[in-house]
Structure formats: C-alpha cells, structure tokens
Amino acid sequence: MTEARSLTSDVQLRIATLDDAAALADAYTRSWDHLSPWEPARPESWFTVAGQRERLTSTLERYKNGHVVPWVLVEADRVIGAFTLQDVVAGPFRSASLGYWLAGDVTGRGLATLAVEAVAELADTHYKLHRIEASTLKHNLASQRVLQRAGFEQIGFAPTYLYIAGTWQDCNLYQRTLNNREPGA
C-alpha cells in the first residue's frame, strides 16, 4: 500500500478504505450538480453509504489483486475528490488509465493538478508503470487543462467514446509517458 501524500498543508491523497463509504456518499451527493455532466448516470444507491461500501468492497478487492489503485483526496475529514488508476496492465505494456473527479466547491485551487502529478509520480516510482492514459469529454476544457499542466499530451480523438450524461460523447485522448526503462526494472 502506498503511503498518503500531503498535497497542501490541509489536503491529503491516500488510498481509499471501506471507512470512506459515508464520506464518498456525502461528496457525491454534495457535488452531483457539478459532476453529472461528466459522469455516467448513477443509480440512487450510488449516493448511499451502503452503495459506496459495496462499490469500495469490489474496488479494494481489485486493488488487492493489482488491477486498480483507488485514491481519495481528503481535506480535514471530508472527501473532496477521487483519483483512480484503472485497468493496470503489467508486462511489456506497463500502463493504466487515470480517472478522477473533484468536488465542485474546491475547484480552481490547483488540487486536481497536484493530485494528478502525485498519481503520475507514484505510477512511475511505486507501481513501475511506463505510461498512464486519460480521456476527457471534448468540451471538458478544465479537465484538459489539468492533464496538460500535469505533463499529458493529447494523442487522439475518439468519437462516441463514452456514454456520459445520457448520450454517447466524443472524447480527447491523452497520455503521459513516465519513463523509458525496461519492464520490471
């Protein structure tokens, strides 16, 4: 398990635990108006402690097996975001996909960029990945700026790539190459 990282004097990036279920349910509920244009439709259970506990149980099992790395961004005792390396692939590919969100009431403080930079550094040094990729909806300029500031380059465009907010949407594709060492080194 990776250690927690302080991003500012009062904001920490750390691995999610089952104890985060209530704080995540609260964060999603509190920020859904802000997040809903960028997220898939969610069932009502998503916004409950039980729904988040069920999701975390599955995610933490995948984490234990090396397929996902789930972080939460925490300010005091409040979850204000989540950053996840998904579909972690070992071997010659050494890659993962990055997904993230930030609560609406904490945007504009540079926290997403700090967290993405920390995740990239951990992906390189701790998880020994070669690259990470991410996608954004074509019109999500704020997320594109976060990725660009964190060293990602746009590598493509994918029409009707993700089903978000009730429709298939176009996405820009990004990647950040972390290193050029041999796999396993």
The pair phi, psi for residue 141, each rounded to 5°, is -65, -35
Contact partners, residue 162, CB within 8 Å, separation at least 6 = 40, 135, 137, 168, 169, 171
Buried b (16+ CB within 10 A) or exposed e, 162-171: bebeeeebeb
Q: How confident is the model at residue 183, as a pLDDT?
A: 81
Q: What is the pTM of this model?
A: 0.94
Which tokens belong to 99? 């997904």
**Low-confidence spans in the chain with pLDDT less than 50:** none
